[in-house]
Amino acid sequence: MQIGLVGLGKMGGNMRERIRAAGHTVVGYDTNPDLSDVGHLSDVVDRLDGPRAVWVMVPAGAVTQHVIDQLGSLLKPGDTVVDGGNSHWRDDEKHARELGARGIGFVDAGVSGGVWGLENGYALMVGGEEEHVERLKPIFDALKPDGPYGYVHAGRVGAGHFAKMVHNGIEYAMMQAYAEGWELLEKVDSVDNVREVYRSWQDGTVIRSWLLDLAVNALDDDAHLEKVRGYADDSGEGRWTVEAAIDNAVPLPAITASLFARFSSRQEDSPQMKMVAALRNQFGGHAVASADRPDRKSPASPGSPGSPGSPDEA
């Protein structure tokens, strides 16, 4: 299958490589000419046979809207646009209406996998009409992890990004729990090897998880997280999750508290936020603030090319 891919940052670039490895043709475009296969967005459309499919992997909001507006004028009826960024699900409904008026299909895809997706595959939560989703199934199969799980057609347009939003809200709460436990273990005199305590939980315990594995990775790099400032950004998805909970009268105390903890990290050097910042760096390659230079952020450590607001950012 042929597909265009717009946005070749830390996730988009790896996705291009994974799709190609599955035998499909990818025409990639990025504003960075060193990453791009073509010189202009219009070249992507020109290089694809109809009916075309173009996957957008750029920051949510104005940038996504700009790209979709351009594609709306370049594509033809019967073509399909996939938004794989972290767009708000209400924006998906707007984009589907705008493109649908031109006869162009629209699919929203929540994508999780971060900098590890090339190797492990990407979990995909997809929203859209059945005919548009089924057309893209070979690409979804190429991107998803091996095995029966990691892909779902979650529902109509907006469902994919709504599901990914809730996923990221849960991620906030899980990271916060690991961070709080780490701080308490570090605080008491009786425990003198916190890193190995965390390592001992990786097998046979009910709280084992990939996030726990990444916490151990971070502690292997810096046993007491002394190099990391206790500051953690929020990508916006946690806020959207809490807003949706309010709109639907659903209590989310753990997720809400974890979001507010991010805010508290901006007021002081929070020990818990050292772990949250380290975890964000481990799974998504997000930059961390250096402990010795609180005003500056250290480069992200497994590779850091790409733009803010990447789909796996939490």
Residue 17: active-site member: no
105 has which bridge partners? 80
Alpha helices by DSSP H, listed for the chain, are 12-21, 41-47, 62-74, 89-100, 117-120, 130-135, 137-143, 159-187, 194-200, 210-221, 237-247, 253-264, 271-284
Answer for the pair 164, 245: CB distance below 8 angstroms, yes or no.
Answer: no
The single residue of 10, 164, 183, 274 carrying the catalytic annotation is 164
Give the Cα separation of 155 and 169 in Å (integer): 19
Token duo for residue 46: 């020109």
Of 308, 287, 290, nearest in space to 299 by CA:
287
Residue 171: active-site member: yes
Of 252, 239, 116, 261, nearest in space to 175 by CA:
261
Q: To 10 degrees, what angle do helices 253-264 and 271-284 make? A: 100
Q: Is the backbone peptide bond immediately before 308 cis, with ω within 30 degrees of 0?
A: no
The single residue of 10, 171, 237, 313 carrying the catalytic annotation is 171
Q: Mind telling me the catalytic residues?
A: 164, 171
